[in-house]
């Protein structure tokens, strides 16, 4: 059935609108993949700690292996709370995600500049460099779910 614009203008407009809406619905219902999900969406939740490597400039790296009760929990909400429990030491603070792939953790009065090196549904690895620390202190977290 071919619609003539001059003979049936209302029917043509209705058909055009219906086709446009169907096209928009089909193209906008794509599931986000890991590459297009925002960093905050990927990191929110409770992660088990596999290990934490701490490097203080001028000293060898020390490694703490995660135990069954060790975790990092990024909570989503107005406050964006983060809980870090490693070796029976629970610390609570806040986190904020910047544009791009960096985020910040404020815990114990210290600011950490963080950068993910790997993040997917099952693994999350990131470095956390303490801001303005002398000597420099960098922790690398290895997390799983």
Q: What tens-digit pLDDT sequence spans the chain (145 residues)?
A: 565 556 656 665 566 565 555 555 555 555 556 668 899 999 999 999 999 999 999 999 999 999 999 999 999 988 999 999 999 999 999 999 998 889 999 999 999 999 999 999 999 999 999 999 999 999 999 999 9
Structure tokens at 93: 């603070």
d(CA 122, CA 106): 25
Provide the CATH number for the domain around residue 134: 2.40.128.20
Do 14 and 56 have their domain in common?
no
Evaluated on CA atoms 132, 40, 28, 30, the torsion sign reads positive
Domain that holds residue 88: 39-144
**Which letter does DSSP use for residue 122 in this model?**
S
When divided into structural domains, the chain yields a total of 2
Do 62 and 19 have their domain in common?
no
| Contact criterion met (CB below 8 Å) for 54 and 138 | yes
Do 86 and 51 have their domain in common?
yes
Question: Which pLDDT belongs to residue 64?
Answer: 96
Do 25 and 83 have their domain in common?
no
């Amino acid at each position: 059935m071919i619609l003539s614009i001059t003979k049936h203008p209302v029917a043509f407009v209705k058909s055009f609108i219906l086709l446009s809406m169907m096209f928009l619905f089909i193209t906008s219902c794509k599931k986000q993949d890991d590459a297009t999900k925002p960093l905050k969406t990927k990191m929110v939740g409770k992660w088990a700690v596999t290990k934490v490597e701490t490097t203080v400039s001028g000293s060898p790296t020390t490694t703490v292996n995660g135990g069954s009760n060790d975790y990092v929990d990024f909570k989503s909400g107005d406050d964006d709370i983060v809980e870090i429990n490693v070796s029976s030491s629970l610390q609570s603070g806040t986190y904020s995600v910047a544009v791009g792939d960096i985020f910040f953790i404020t815990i114990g009065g210290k600011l950490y500049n963080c950068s993910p090196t790997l993040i997917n549904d099952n693994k999350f690895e990131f470095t956390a460099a303490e801001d303005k620390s002398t000597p420099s202190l960098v922790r690398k977290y290895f997390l799983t779910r």
